[in-house]
Chain A
Amino acid sequence: MGEMQTKEQLTPEDFLDPLEIPPIVKGAMADSKPYPAAPEHQEKLGFPGELVDDWHDRAIAKLGELASKYRGLRVYLDSCVKCGACTDKCHYFLGTGDPNNMPVARQDLLRQVWRRHYTFAGKYFPWLVGAKDLTEELLDEWYSYFHQCSQCRRCSVYCPYGIDTAEVSMAAREIMDTIGKGQKYCNEIIGKVHTVGNNLGLQAKALKATLEELEEEIEDDTGVSVRLPLDEKGAEIMLVTPSADFFAEPHIDGLIGYAKVFHQAGASWTISSHASEAANFGMFIGSYENMRKMALRIREAALDLGVKRIIFGECGHAWRAAYSFLNTLAGPFDFLDQNYPIPQHICEYTYDLIQRGVLKFDKSRNDHIRLTFHDSCNVARASRMGDMPGGQFEIPRAILRAVCNHFYDMAPETIREATFCCGGGGGLLTDELMDVRTKGAQPRIRALKEVIEEHGVTHMAAICAICKTQFAKIFPAYGIPMDTIVSVHQMVSNAIILDGEVRDDDDDDAEDDES
Chain B
Amino acid sequence: MAGVGMLVTTVYAILFYLATLILVAGVGYRIWVYARTPAPLKIPTTPAPVTRAGVVMRIVREVVLFESLFKANKWIWVFGWVFHAGLLLVLLRHVRYFQEPVWKLIALIQPFGIYAGFAMVAGLLGLWARRLFVPRIRYISGPSDHLMLALIVAIGLSGLAMRYLAPTDIVAVKAFFLGLMTFDWQPLPADPVLLIHLTLVAILMMIFPVSKLLHAPGLFFSPGRNQVDNPRERRHLAPWAAELEAAEGRGR
- A: residues with CB less than 8 A from B are 21, 23-24, 67-72, 74-76, 78-89, 99, 102, 104-105, 108, 119-121, 127-130, 153, 156-164, 167, 288-289, 292, 323-325, 327-328, 331-332, 341-343, 380-384, 387-390, 392-393, 417
Q: Which residues of B contact A21 (CB under 8 A)?
A: 136
Q: A84-B140, A158-B71 are in contact. List 5 more A-B contacts (CB 8 A).
A: A70-B38, A324-B231, A325-B42, A343-B232, A384-B47
Q: Is the beta-carbon distance between B136 and A157 smaller than 8 angstroms?
A: no
**Does B241 make an interface contact (CB < 8 A)?**
yes
Q: How far is the CA of A392 from the CA of B229 in the complex (A)?
A: 13
**Does B10 make an interface contact (CB < 8 A)?**
no
Q: Is the beta-carbon distance between B69 and A328 smaller than 8 angstroms?
A: no
Q: Which residues of B contact A325 (CB under 8 A)?
A: 41-42, 231
What are 10 sample pairs from A and B whose C-beta atoms fall under 8 A apart? A23-B135, A24-B136, A72-B223, A78-B215, A85-B73, A87-B137, A108-B140, A160-B215, A163-B222, A390-B47
Q: Which residues of A contact B143 (CB under 8 A)?
A: 127-130
Q: Is the beta-carbon distance between B232 and A327 smaller than 8 angstroms?
A: yes
Q: How far is the CA of A69 from the CA of B38 in the complex (A)?
A: 6
Cross-interface CB contact of B46 among A67, A289, A341, A389, cutoff 8 Å: A389
Q: Which residues of A contact B142 (CB under 8 A)?
A: 82, 128-130
B221 shortest CB reach to chain A, Å? 5
Q: Which residues of B contact A327 (CB under 8 A)?
A: 231-232, 234-236
Q: Is the beta-carbon distance between A158 and B72 smaller than 8 angstroms?
A: yes
Would A72 and B222 be within 8 Å (CB), given that A24-B136, A102-B136, A158-B72 are in contact? Answer: yes
A344 shortest CB reach to chain B, Å? 9
B3 shortest CB reach to chain A, Å? 35
Cross-interface CB contact of B41 among A23, A84, A328, A342, cutoff 8 Å: A328
Q: Which residues of A contact B211 (CB under 8 A)?
A: 121, 129
Q: How far is the CA of A85 from the CA of B214 in the complex (A)?
A: 18
Q: Which residues of B contact A163 (CB under 8 A)?
A: 222, 224
Q: Is the beta-carbon distance between B221 and A75 smaller than 8 angstroms?
A: yes
Q: How far is the CA of A478 from the CA of B66 in the complex (A)?
A: 38
Q: Is the beta-carbon distance between A292 and B219 smaller than 8 angstroms?
A: no
Interface string of B181-195 (1 = CB under 8 A from A): 000000000000000
**Does B240 make an interface contact (CB < 8 A)?**
yes
Q: Which residues of B contact A328 (CB under 8 A)?
A: 40-42, 231, 235-237, 241
Would A381 and B69 be within 8 Å (CB), given that A81-B212, A323-B231 are in contact? Answer: no
Q: Is the beta-carbon distance between B46 and A382 smaller than 8 angstroms?
A: yes
Interface string of B205-244 (1 = CB under 8 A from A): 0010011101100110111110001011011111011001
Residue of A nearest to B136 (CB): A87
Q: Is the beta-carbon distance between B136 and A324 smaller than 8 angstroms?
A: no
Q: Is the beta-carbon distance between A69 and B137 smaller than 8 angstroms?
A: no
B56 shortest CB reach to chain A, Å? 15
Query: Would you list which residues of chain B between 76 and 114 have a CB under 8 Å from chain A?
Result: 76, 80
Interface 9-residue window, one of B29-37, B116-124, B154-162, B164-172: B29-37
Q: Is the beta-carbon distance between B33 and A74 smaller than 8 angstroms?
A: yes
Q: How far is the CA of A327 from the CA of B237 in the complex (A)?
A: 9
Q: Is the beta-carbon distance between A157 and B71 smaller than 8 angstroms?
A: yes
Residue of A nearest to B221 (CB): A75
Q: Which residues of B contact A104 (CB under 8 A)?
A: 140
Q: How far is the CA of A162 from the CA of B223 in the complex (A)?
A: 8
Which 4 pairs from chain A and chain B are nearest by CB?
A162-B224, A79-B218, A158-B72, A389-B47
Q: How far is the CA of A102 from the CA of B236 in the complex (A)?
A: 32
**Does B147 make an interface contact (CB < 8 A)?**
yes
Q: Which residues of B contact A384 (CB under 8 A)?
A: 46-48, 229
Q: How far is the CA of A182 from the CA of B18 in the complex (A)?
A: 47
Q: How far is the CA of A480 from the CA of B231 in the complex (A)?
A: 39
Q: How far is the CA of A324 from the CA of B40 in the complex (A)?
A: 11
B173 shortest CB reach to chain A, Å? 31
Residue of B nearest to A341 (CB): B232
Q: Is the beta-carbon distance between A164 and B48 smaller than 8 angstroms?
A: no
Would A121 and B49 be within 8 Å (CB), given that A72-B223, A161-B225, A331-B235 are in contact? Answer: no
B238 shortest CB reach to chain A, Å? 8
Q: How far is the CA of A323 from the CA of B238 in the complex (A)?
A: 17
Q: Which residues of A contact B131 (CB under 8 A)?
A: 84
Q: Interface centre among B71, B137, B140, B145, by most A CB within 10 Å? A: B140
Q: Is the beta-carbon distance between B45 and A156 smaller than 8 angstroms?
A: yes
Interface string of B37-71 (1 = CB under 8 A from A): 11111110111111000000000001000101101
Q: Which residues of A contact B144 (CB under 8 A)?
A: 121, 128-130
Would A78 and B214 be within 8 Å (CB), given that A153-B45, A382-B46, A389-B47 are in contact? Answer: yes
B9 shortest CB reach to chain A, Å? 30
A353 shortest CB reach to chain B, Å? 20
**Does B141 make an interface contact (CB < 8 A)?**
yes
Q: How far is the CA of A102 from the CA of B48 in the complex (A)?
A: 25
Q: Is the beta-carbon distance between B69 and A83 smaller than 8 angstroms?
A: yes
Q: Is the beta-carbon distance between A332 and B47 smaller than 8 angstroms?
A: no
Q: Is the beta-carbon distance between A68 and B72 smaller than 8 angstroms?
A: no
Q: How far is the CA of A397 from the CA of B240 in the complex (A)?
A: 40
A480 shortest CB reach to chain B, Å? 29
Q: Is the beta-carbon distance between B137 and A157 smaller than 8 angstroms?
A: no
Q: Which residues of B contact A387 (CB under 8 A)?
A: 50
Would A81 and B46 be within 8 Å (CB), given that A72-B224, A128-B142, A323-B231 are in contact? Answer: no
Cross-interface CB contact of B235 among A162, A332, A389, A392, cutoff 8 Å: A332
Q: Is the beta-carbon distance between A71 and B218 smaller than 8 angstroms?
A: no
Q: How far is the CA of A76 from the CA of B221 in the complex (A)?
A: 10
A90 shortest CB reach to chain B, Å? 11
